Amino acid sequence: MFQKRPTGMAFAGLSGMKTIEKRTGRMPVRKGNKIPINKQKRTPRRVKRTVAAPALRCRRKFLRFFPGGFSDGTYLEWERNYKWKAHLIWKAILNEERYTALLHKGRYQEIARMAAGIEGKTNFLFSFEKMALRDAIRSDEGAKIFAVGLHQYIYGKEPLEERFASFTEVLASLPRKQTRVLTWPLQTVFGFIADPREHFFLKPRVTQLAAKQYGYEFMYRSRPNWETYKSALDLSRIIKRDLSDLRPKDQIDIQSFLWVMGSDEYI
């Protein structure tokens, strides 16, 4: 079909348009907006992306408990708010500027106690892990190793893979009384609290069960390592993409979604 003739504008007609096109190689252009008649903007069609059946089952389970998705009032009360509160406390007392200043003053014990205290107000770690951390940072040497290493992990400028590997060695080198400090929850909890946009909190059993339900091949090994952590980050990106219409804000929402899938609390 032809374009409707604009008011006050000469109309060349079909033969005229063909003559102009043949002579100049260009189609006539509207005056004013200069948009070629045959290249008017069209509304792009939305491409529907297929989500696998296991992922859809997980989505339905999550919405069965929280019909409002990540904005559901019960979800906020049960899963998100206390995690976000821990993050806000961290930003208030151990933000990069204050943390760096405390390091320069050699106040390692204070840093270690504050970090452990913020986590202590959550249920992220098992009691034996909390105790192992307290024992590890009780000495001046342990507190210094932990405080310096944690600062580098969270606020360092190196790629995450390098920072992750360095912090693994930090935890492995901490003084140990009974229980080992190097566990997945201790490796990942402080990054998660400090910056939930970048860091994922990995609870081994729950994450493995949730990944299986989601139909994802999770590359798990019991000792903290980058390959497993990257596999968890890849899973979180897939879930964030699949649930984009529910608008997950950060890794807090993704970790909470996986907790609903893998925890005995939600059956």
Is 155:96 a contact under the CB 8 Å cutoff?
yes
The phi, psi pair for 88, rounded to 5°, reads -65, -40
The whole-number pLDDT of residue 177 equals: 80
What is the dihedral sign for C-alpha 90, 93, 97, 102?
negative
Residue with tokens 């859809």: 56
Residue with tokens 């930090």: 170
Can you give the pTM of this predicted structure?
Answer: 0.80
Is 189:203 a contact under the CB 8 Å cutoff?
no
The whole-number pLDDT of residue 238 equals: 98
The whole-number pLDDT of residue 176 equals: 87
Q: Give the tokens for residue 81.
A: 């708010």
pLDDT tens by residue, the chain, 267 residues: 434 334 433 433 434 434 334 434 444 443 444 434 344 444 434 434 577 899 999 999 999 999 999 999 999 999 999 999 999 999 999 999 999 999 999 999 999 999 999 999 999 999 999 999 999 999 999 999 999 999 999 999 999 999 999 999 999 999 988 778 999 999 999 999 999 999 999 999 999 999 999 999 999 999 999 999 999 999 999 999 999 999 999 999 999 999 999 999 998
How many Å apart are CA 163 and CA 174, to the nearest integer? Answer: 17
The whole-number pLDDT of residue 23 equals: 39
Q: For the chain, which residues make up each domain, given as ranges? A: 1-39, 53-74+91-262
CA distances from 64 to 159, 192, 214 (A): 39, 27, 16
What is the dihedral sign for C-alpha 175, 180, 183, 188?
negative
Determine how many CB atoms are found less than 10 A away from the CB of residue 129.
Answer: 19
The whole-number pLDDT of residue 49 equals: 57
